[in-house]
Chain A
Amino acid sequence: MAGMKELATLVKELEEQLVTCIRCGMCQSVCPLFEQTRKEADVARGKLALLTGLMDNIFTDPDGVNERLNRCLLCGSCAANCPSGVNVVEIFIKARAILAEYKGLSPAKKLIFRQLLANPGRFDAMVEWAGRFQGLFTKSSADAQGTSCARLISPLLANRHFMPLSTTPFHKTLPEKGFTSTGSGLRAAFFTGCLIDKIFPNVAKASLKVLAHHKVGVIIPPGQGCCGIPALASGDRDSFTHLVDHNLALFEKHDFDVLVTACATCTSTIKKLWPTVYKNPSDNIQQKLTALAEKTMDINQFLVDRVGIDPLKNLSDPAGPDAGTDIVTYHDPCHLKKSLGVADQPRQVISAAGCQLKEMAGSDKCCGMGGSFNIYHYDLSSTIGTIKRENIEKTGCTTVSTGCPACMMQISDMLGKAGSSITVRHPMEIYASRLKKNTP
């Protein structure tokens, strides 16, 4: 194929990053996918070799490499443990974009990313509409996690226990002009994120309650879009860049000390990918993205490192629900611990809420969600998720907490299918439940 030479030239953009892999193979010890399949093409070293192969133009078509490149959770376990410091996630994201731009996106993805996701108003309306009718196709499974499953046999849903869309997304509970509150010191802008807005609005509500309790001024600009990771993971750098533009324009109108999110993936995307994968940024845009990335923080980290929390003393209702009796185990989202090094802070938040924290084995092992990986490789995703579920159950906990709504979905699915009574809650939900109700 004549175009393969052109593709090789495109991949050459990654050469300086690709050559840093010395093929030592240490990534095999931490890759959750390799642990299951033990195939070299499933681990970072193999994928980096494949990209080098594309660069050397040894293949007749890009499909085989593309398919293998997409078999990846993008969890970053390899990068976090790489002796040579290979920036694996960034390489893979850029390579997916190069391949998608070369091959063209599938019509379905084009529709989803270009027509819906990249257009936040339309996306919100569509999801809201879907939320009203979801009961026709799915039923509540009456479990502790509040999941749903398919009413009829559906190849798309299979036997998933998925989190239903909230009947009222978070942004609908805010004033149309957005939300602003004044505090006594720090000012935080809150980036909601799609999953929290549409599936876990309670996490956002709990976050606001906690921020208000600590007298942090909050700004939530209206019309926020997705952080762009779903588009980017599928290689759609155009939709990603469009979304970054949209969000950047919203937030730059306001004055704030930190941008906080309660979603590990959004935080990691804003901090790590907005400044590095944005398509052809001008110097001005690059500066803004770098500055915003530096100001962005996970909400647990913000609370512990910037606001400062005092166990229990700060709580308005030390005897509230969960007091003392709740045994909580914490799952480290890959996008918090491996990408950003945030691991202690969420635990401190949980302990500060008076819960007994009990560590599970492999708390920082990926839950197997991996965004669209879960959609395209549900069996593998579930096998990896089952290991997580078993580790959670072995602690004897009543609640599993994690700082990422995508992990919350996966863990809810795993626990729901197993009929477990363990509840899944964000650290903010746990902390907020110990605060009196009269805050927003």
Chain B
Amino acid sequence: MIPRSIQDALQKIVGPQHLLTQKEDMLTYSYDAAVLDPVMPAAAVIPENTTQLGEIIALCHENHIPITVRGSGTNLSGGTIPRTSGIVVLTGRMNRIIEINEADMYAVVEPGVVTATLAAEVEKLGLFYPPDPGSMAVSTIGGNVAENAGGLRGLKYGVTKDYVMGLQFFDCQGNYIKTGSRTVKCATGYNITGLMVGSEGTLGVLDQVILKLIPAPKDRQAMVAVYDTIEQASETVAGIISARIVPATLEILDNFTIRAVEDFSKAGLPTDAAALLLIEVDGHPAVVAEEAEQVKALCLKMGARTIDRAKDDAQRDRIWAARRAALSALAQLKPTLVLEDATVPRSKIPDMVRALQDIAKKYRIDIGTFGHAGDGNLHPTILTDRRNKEEFHRVEQAIEEIFDTALAMGGTLSGEHGTGIAKAPFLEKEAGYSSILFSRQLRAALDPRNILNPGKITGV
């Protein structure tokens, strides 16, 4: 609970309609998409503009009230789960695209803009905003920046951090900070932009984001390769990379996932295949043609049973619909779905795939594996029922082993879902205690009252 006087002050800032305190509403802001226990905040506020946002933060600072900012709550690591003594700041009304600059190829947006909305707007102008997280139909740019979201195109086009040119945000006291610029190059001051991306709301509250845009590729070619063993498929991934070809997308689906997708969507996938690779090359038409040939030859050389090219947009759409259906199809099998994103150097994909199969067997659990094989970011997806405590315990053990395996291969706990609450206890394994201490000191200096999304990343 927060005192009445503070509720009144918040209400004065945003208006009575945009302050929520009833228990029912609090329940709806107690969770995100991560499989974690819900925590109800004391209040939720929906500011409409920069002024209101700044006033809210100053008020919370003065009164030591924790702040958790929430976009669409699609987070997969618990980054938007609040504190009981804290408030949730919703960005839903701060959803304006302020500028799309065609001449200088950048966009300035508010944090509540939905990723897919921005992507569609820039596409109309022949421009391209590549980061495409799976949740882009609902996820917000603010959330993408805070989590350093990835997507299917990471391999060639990078992730959110590669597109953030500058930011304007509030520090914990409500001071307005500007970092980065609208220019391609910018060498002034600290690279605070880089620090803020992926900081999960622990260092400041975003108000505006300047995003880099690039020209849309002129041509693209999607392909599907079918394999009889998953080793051949994962060796192909490593082979394509070492042949110095960089597809826009290089995705893998294992047999478990193929069967789930086929049951769900009747897309005509070969259910006897051990693995599928879905590949897309893009760019200048001549390059696309040449790379498509090279990829085809490589796949066949590595033992692909067949490789088919999409002949038109409709076929291409069908290929990607199958990939997009993967999570949906798996989600229908059991009540609880734990989507992991431990990531390894891409040459280690064959080893990781093998390790995941062993882990599934060892802990007697169902793991469907699909994901961004081309950038080393697999999504082992564990299907379980959280109400079955015994099984869920095995799931937790399996997750820990997946983490250890990825780290042993020189990988990371999370390619794109963030640390949040879910991975905070494991971070020391990856980075070592001194790195956690450094992060905590940084945080303590910038937010001495620990009001900015406490508990995330550094565990405090």
Contact = CB atoms under 8 A, between A and B. Distances in A.
A221 B249 CA distance: 60
Contact of A28 (B72, B93, B328, B336): B72
Interface in A49-78: 49-50, 53, 58-59, 64-65, 68
Query: For this complex, into which size category does the number of interface residues on chain B fall?
Result: 35 or more
A39 B18 CA distance: 10
Contacts of A29: 114, 116, 137-138
B23 interface: yes
Interface in A75-96: 83-85
Contacts of B30: 49
Contact of B336 (A22, A24, A45, A53): A22
Nearest to B264: A85
Nearest to B91: A38
Contacts of A46: 28
A22 B46 contact: no
A65 B387 CA distance: 24
Contacts of B22: 64
B29 A64 contact: no
Given A22-B33, A24-B74, A38 B92 contact: yes
Interface in B10-64: 20, 22-25, 27-33, 38, 46
Contacts, number: 85
A223 interface: no
Given A19-B335, A40-B73, A25 B135 contact: yes
B25 A23 contact: no
A19 B333 CA distance: 12
Given A46-B28, A64-B23, A68-B24, A25 B72 contact: yes
A22 B337 contact: yes
Contact of A58 (B20, B27, B138): B27
Contacts of B28: 39-41, 45-46, 49-50
A53 B32 CA distance: 15
Nearest to B335: A19
B332 interface: yes
A421 interface: no
Interface in B326-376: 327-328, 331-332, 335-337
Given A22-B336, A24-B135, A38-B92, A49 B33 contact: no
Contacts of A85: 328, 331-332
A50 B27 contact: yes
A20 interface: yes
A24 B28 CA distance: 13
Nearest to B114: A29
A100 interface: no
A340 interface: no
A49 to B, nearest CB: 6
A49 B28 CA distance: 6
A327 to B, nearest CB: 25
Interface string B155-169: 000000000000000
Interface of A: 19-20, 22-26, 28-29, 38-41, 45-46, 49-50, 53, 58-59, 64-65, 68, 83-85
11 contacts: A20-B335, A24-B33, A25-B74, A26-B138, A39-B28, A40-B29, A50-B28, A58-B23, A58-B27, A65-B24, A83-B332
Interface of B: 20, 22-25, 27-33, 38, 46, 72-74, 90, 92-93, 95, 114, 116, 135, 137-138, 327-328, 331-332, 335-337, 385, 387
Sorted nearest first, the 3 A-B pairs with minimum C-beta distance are A38-B92, A83-B328, A46-B28
Given A24-B331, A41-B25, A64-B22, 9 more contacts: A19-B385, A22-B33, A25-B32, A26-B74, A38-B46, A38-B92, A39-B92, A50-B27, A53-B27
